[in-house]
Amino acid sequence: MTDLLSLKTHTQANASVIPLQYDLKKTTSGIVHIGIGAFHRAHQAVFTDDLIATGETQWKITAVSLRSANIRNIMQPQDHLYTMLERSNEKERIRLVGAIDKVLVAPENPQAVINVIADSSTKVVTLTVTEKGYCRDKSGQQLDVENDIIKSDLADLSAPKSVPGFIVAACKIRQKHQEKLTIISCDNLPSNGDITKKVVLQFAQKVDGNLALWIENNVSFCNSMVDRIVPATTAEDITHTAELLGLEDKSVVITEPFKQWVIEDNFVNERPSWDKAGAIFVKDVAAFEEMKLRLLNGAHSTLAYIGFFMGYEYIHQAVNDEHCLAFVKKLHQQLLSTLDPVDNINLPEYAATILARFGNESVPYKTTQVACDGSQKLPQRLLKPAEILASSGNISQPIAFVVASWCRFLEGVNQQGESFTVIDPLADKLVAVANQHKGAEALQIKHIMIESEVCSSALLENNDFIYQVISYLTLIHENGMRGALVHFNTETDK
| Interacting residue ranges for ligand CS2, rule: CB under 6 A | 188, 227-229, 296-297, 300, 369-370, 377
Q: In this complex, which beta carbon is closest to ligand CS2, that of residue 197 or of residue 300?
A: 300
Q: In this complex, which beta carbon is closest to ligand CS2, that of residue 169 or of residue 328?
A: 328
Q: In this complex, which beta carbon is closest to ligand CS2, that of residue 145 or of residue 423?
A: 423
Q: What is the DSSP letter of 26?
A: G
Please report how close the Cβ of residue 228 comes to ligand CS2 at its closest, in angstroms.
Answer: 5
Amino acid at site 118: A
Q: In this complex, which beta carbon is closest to ligand CS2, that of residue 118 or of residue 407?
A: 407
Please report how close the Cβ of residue 423 comes to ligand CS2 at its closest, in angstroms.
Answer: 11
Please report how close the Cβ of residue 293 comes to ligand CS2 at its closest, in angstroms.
Answer: 8
Please report how close the Cβ of residue 289 comes to ligand CS2 at its closest, in angstroms.
Answer: 11
Please report how close the Cβ of residue 357 comes to ligand CS2 at its closest, in angstroms.
Answer: 9
CA gap 26, 22 in Å, rounded? 8
289's CB contacts (< 8 A; 6+ apart) are 190, 191, 192, 223, 225, 262
Q: In this complex, which beta carbon is closest to ligand CS2, that of residue 179 or of residue 227?
A: 227
Phi, psi of 186 (to 5 degrees): -125, 35
Q: In this complex, which beta carbon is closest to ligand CS2, that of residue 167 or of residue 318?
A: 318
Q: Cβ of 19: how many Cβ atoms within 10 Å?
A: 11
- For residue 382, give Cα distances in angstroms to 175, 295, 484: 40, 9, 20
Q: In what order do the strands lie in the sheet with 82-87?
A: 92-97, 82-87, 253-255
Please report how close the Cβ of residue 218 comes to ligand CS2 at its closest, in angstroms.
Answer: 31
Please report how close the Cβ of residue 234 comes to ligand CS2 at its closest, in angstroms.
Answer: 16
CA gap 140, 455 in Å, rounded? 11
Give the residue closest to ligand CS2 by C-beta: 300
DSSP assignments along 122-167, one per residue: --EEEE--TGGGG-B-TTSSSB-TTSHHHHHHHH-TTS--SHHHHH
Q: In this complex, which beta carbon is closest to ligand CS2, that of residue 297 or of residue 444?
A: 297
